[in-house]
Structure 1
């Protein structure tokens, strides 16, 4: 429950209704652009025109603003596009570079002739500029300027969409613009007058208006063949649709208001999967095998993971909606599906020594393949960790669930190991991986899992080593706090709640009392529940990636810890994250898990994630 609540807080800036009200107000607070020369110098030269006034571009009315006057020079626009193409597009691959570059040239040629230019192309260009500028400025240690400039530029992209009447008459370029902003920039740092254009629900609605979900229906294909069509545009549409579907299914298995649900139904669409080909091969219809790396490899394997997440949602939602616990047999069946999908990853997305050596030249020549390898590996391990969360603590106490305990710890450690590889091994992420919400979200939750395990198994023979392991994870989070304003605010919000509740009176708890409470207290948040589920036999899962998953029969000898636990008084005050967690670890042997204060902590964390319901007396929790 605690891990679930903290996850909602961390991902709040991606799903606005999930974030605490105070934090949401702080993150979405509107700031005027500073007029000082130092801020103008810190920003890219392409946006000197944006910063030259003492006011803010987004104070203007979006329907009347002269967009062409805020465009950078063509050379600056192309430089920012190259940065986006080389360092950001690999995550979602929403553009065909040659096609977009051609549109940029056409836009500036039209403006040179005195024309206003295609508004949807302007929106796409501003979305690329906003994203590239944001990460460029973060990389130069200018987070405040990065947020301000990206917010202002996103406003210009939104203004272009509004002036083109995009909602009523959507276009492919307009959808690309909205998806780029929706994926790469926090929804709570956007100007409220245009932010609704970039929500996931709006993106799916506009894609349907364009008919992307019907792209390969027989009647549509027949009409396309009769009239003629651009093969690159059709393939681009497939990529856009499946990216929306992947994201929709992935977030259905993350905490927040969208948890246990999704919007895009597989039965309600007819769209071929994107081809595994390079961009310059679009049109020849010769697809490469999945064992061959292309610019679409990551998107296709991300889609495979998303499909498993959709199956998890389908299996878990009926139980969740009825207030029932998902049985352990279902968890193990879903685990097998995740493990199977993981085993299908191609060699170039693996971390074992032979794979690294085999593809070393490709990683040097195409660093995005190495970066995608880290992202997909981290994504799988974080989902395995999350799938077993429900039985994680029980597995440390009851051998019947010990598989979940071991897999959770194993996956959490792999998430943290991959983050260290991202930070230390060539080719290094550019920009730094700590700037990406998805990466730090996985790291944060992995750290929480390790923290919870130490608190519940404080007398483990390797307790000192495991405490240091948690502190190492804290250091990763601390570095992210220093580089990302959104991560800093979200993590600080979580720590504020923990800080308020970490002030309890010491109350000894006897061994007999603790045992009685463990077996009788229905409200115990992490009680050791016993049922008749048995783990079916399964083999070790170990592939050439060098990552190992223990089978259930290998973990029954796990040490069981039933020692009494008690609370002590602790005045944390304001201190670095590592100091706070260190003190919590030092006092983990004194936490009384059955105290009302512990339940108050969980309640507050839960309420903080649903600000619209906290003050509603009729709300059913």
Structure 2
């Protein structure tokens, strides 16, 4: 017990077989007496296994933890629980967020059946642990001054919630909350001159502690900048300006090497480490930020912009591609040359595809306004070509993932980051087929759209994001008189309403804050291809008035962006 946080230790199956997972996760104060947050943790052996899976299968997606320190924190937490000692809410929140993200990404092939009986059980646990972690974080924000663990837990939870719900207000609020906590802890001036730093604690940080704070800070900032060029309500805006921070880049070192070298040493990016992907992601994010600074606002008249500036910005993406180390390049020769690196760092395979998906998604987004204006200026053919190349690259990544990662690819295809880019890439192909009838074989272009929709249909069986993306694409295109799949082929996936409980039955104790229900997103009898003959989809896919203005297409792209949230 710690200031209103009550923790019980129960095996996963035991917890799911009781009413604990339904009643305790509701966060209803009237049902738990004086407790503000009441949570359950798995026994130590299951917790150790979950942390091990996190270290191997999740942490490389957001490398913001020092895993040796986290292992010690978890060891201390379970010791304190066994002795009945006071525990820190931030440590509970961090451990819960780790368990939630691990459970979400597990599959039977990654050993998920060691703790969870099936994939649906794992997703349900991810849902419950996320809800509990949010409750503990809310309590921690009211009862403590904040800590780096609070920020880390918030970042990891935002990853889980993004995959559950998409780019929702909750995800954006969590991301903004993490940045606010970081500024409160002076992370934005971590490497300012000590004699100008008013905070008394930063100079006392260990070298490892300061390095972890750099990782945390730059993960948040790079996410902020990438999302600024991703569509949605925040398009064209970001929260952190580089002039408002004094934080060095993280070092290109593995955790085990942080205390082996002097604090200024970093390996070149040509040498792979667990941090190389993070540093490349920061470089890509900086290009996105520069593009946002140079472009007119999304609501301005794109017909009056300086197109040479667009070409210059696009060439920055091209230069970034040329600068990639060989083990992050996509061509077959480079991938073959990188087999030894992949053996040493297996996560690089997934990181490579996420980086390329993000890169090509942003590049396509940059050129997208001119895709609909090719008839206005022949120079815009450059943007159409780049936009289509980027979209097709994103779609072709699925085949490469299937080849390089075999059946494990399905677990990573359902990640919202990849699905978001895949969704928008499919939309680009649809728009081009509508607008540019002379752009190549109509049958081939229609078939690639059908194949892309098939991937989303296959992914929706285990991903609420895929289901929502496909439904959004179909709904919006139908609104604009583009004939697509009938609405019955895509299940209605909604966040929990105020009267829906974790079992899908009415529960007045839950509010609109609650996460998407795993029982709604993973119906056991649902077959995504049962209600549609997707091979015949192209026969009635397009029926659009060709007199639509570019502004109308801008509104359509905007509608697609807004349906992501």
Deviations along 1:270-298, one digit per CA (max 9) or x if unpaired, are 01100001111113233111100001000
Q: Does the residue aligned with 2:53 lie in a helix, a strand or coil?
A: helix
Q: Is the 8 A contact 2:273 2:345 kept in 1?
A: no
Q: CA offset at residue 355 of structure 1?
A: 2.0
**How far apart are the structure 2 equivalents of 1:400 and 1:315?**
20
> 2: CA distance between counterparts of 1:76 and 1:266?
42
The whole-number CA distance in structure 1 between the counterparts of 2:545 and 2:202 is 73
1:70 counterpart residue number: 40
Q: Give secondary structure in 2 for the equivalent of 1:311.
A: helix
Structure 1 residues 243 and 469, CA, compared in 2 at 3 Å: closer, same or farther?
same
Partner of 1:313: 292
Alignment partner, residue 321 of structure 2: 342
TM value normalised by structure 2: 0.79
Matched-pair contact (CA < 8 Å) for 1:119–1:164? yes
Q: Secondary structure of the equivalent of 1:95?
A: coil
Q: Report whether the alignment pairs 1:449 with 2:428.
A: yes
Q: Structure 2 vs 1, CA of residues 573 and 83 (structure 1 numbering), >3 Å: closer, same or farther? A: closer
2:86 & 2:255 partners in 1: Cα distance? 30
Q: Which residue does the alignment assign to 2:497?
A: none
Instruction: Give, in angstroms, the shift of residue 132 of structure 1.
Output: 1.1
Structure 1 82/166 Cα, relative in aligned 2: closer, same or farther at 3 Å?
Answer: farther
Pairing partner for 2:190 from 203, 209, 215: 215
Q: Name the residue aligned to 1:203.
A: 178
Q: Which runs of 5+ in 2 are unaligned?
A: 1-9, 491-527
User: Which string of whole-angstrom CA distances, capped at 9 and with x for unpartnered residues, describes residues 284-324 of structure 1?
Assistant: 233111100001000000000000000111112x4435445
- Aligned pair in 2 of structure 1 residues 160, 298: CA closer, same or farther (>3 Å)? same
Q: SS of the residue aligned with 1:70? A: strand
Distance 1:130 1:197, change over 3 A: farther
- The farther-off stretch of 78-87 and 157-166 is 157-166
**For 2:487 and 2:445, how far apart are their aligned partners in 1?**
25
Structure 1 residues 150-185: Cα deviation after superposition (integer angstroms, max 9, x where no partner): 232122212322333468611011111111001232
Tell me which residue corresponds to 1:256.
232
Contact 1:480–1:488 under 8 Å retained in 2: yes
Tell me the residue number matched to 1:46. 12
Partner of 1:372: 351
1:278 aligns with 2:254: yes
User: Normalization by structure 1: what TM-score?
Assistant: 0.72
Number of aligned residue pairs: give it: 500
C-alpha separation between the residues in 1 aligned to 2:212 and 2:544? 55
Q: Does 1:56 align with 2:23?
A: yes
| Partner residue in 2 for 1:390 | 369
Corresponding residue to 1:329 among 297, 302, 308 = 308
Q: Secondary structure at the match of 1:388?
A: helix
**CA–CA separation in structure 1 for the residues paired with 2:13 and 2:62:** 26
Contact 2:37–2:136 (Cα < 8 Å) also in 1:
yes
| TM-aligned CA distance change 1:209 to 1:468, over 3 Å | same
Deviation at 1:208, TM superposition (A): 0.4
Q: Which moved more, 1:377-386 or 1:154-163?
A: 154-163
Cα displacement (A) at 1:443? 1.2
What secondary structure, in the 3-state scheme, does the structure 1 residue paired with 2:106 have?
A: helix
Work out the CA distance in 2 between the residues paired with 1:429 and 1:364. Answer: 16
Give me the whole-angstrom Cα distance separating, in 1, the residues matched to 2:449 and 2:557: 24
1:244 and 2:197 are equivalent in the alignment: no
Q: 2:465 is matched with which residue?
A: 486
Worse overlay, 582-591 or 407-416: 582-591
Partner of 1:552: none
Distance 1:197 1:410 in 2: 30
Q: Which has the higher contact order (CA 8 A, sep 6+)?
A: 1
Q: What residue in structure 1 maps to residue 273 of structure 2? A: 294
> How far apart in 2 are the matches of 1:498 and 1:197?
26
Question: Are 1:404 and 2:383 matched, yes or no?
Answer: yes
Instruction: Give the corresponding residue for 1:86.
Output: 56
Q: Is the 8 A contact 2:374 2:380 kept in 1?
A: yes
Q: Give me the whole-angstrom Cα distance separating, in 2, the residues matched to 1:289 and 1:170.
A: 34
Cα drift, residue 392 of structure 1: 1.7
- In 2, are the aligned partners of 1:47 and 1:72 still within 8 Å (CA)? no
The structural deviation recorded for 1:362 is 2.2
Measured in 2, the distance between the counterparts of 1:476 and 1:69 equals 37
Task: State the distance in 2 between where 1:488 and 1:570 align.
Answer: 15
- Structure with higher Rg: it is 1
Q: Name whichever of 151-160 and 582-591 sits farther off.
A: 582-591
Partners of 1:226 and 1:246 lie apart in 2 by 22
Distance 1:171 1:608 in 2: 34
Judging changes above 3 Å, is the alpha-carbon distance between structure 1 residues 73 and 430 closer, same or farther for their aligned structure 2 residues? farther
Unaligned ranges ≥5, structure 1: 1-43, 504-568, 613-621
The question of 1:437 aligning with 2:404 is answered no
Is residue 120–residue 161 contact of structure 1 (8 Å, CA) maintained in 2? yes
CA contact (8 A) 1:363 1:370 kept: yes
- Judged with a 3 Å threshold, the aligned counterparts in structure 2 of structure 1 residues 67 and 280 are, in CA distance, closer, same or farther, namely farther
> Which secondary structure state, in structure 2, belongs to the residue aligned with residue 270 of structure 1?
coil
Match of 2:546 in 1: 593
Contact kept? 1:434, 1:483, Cα under 8 Å: no
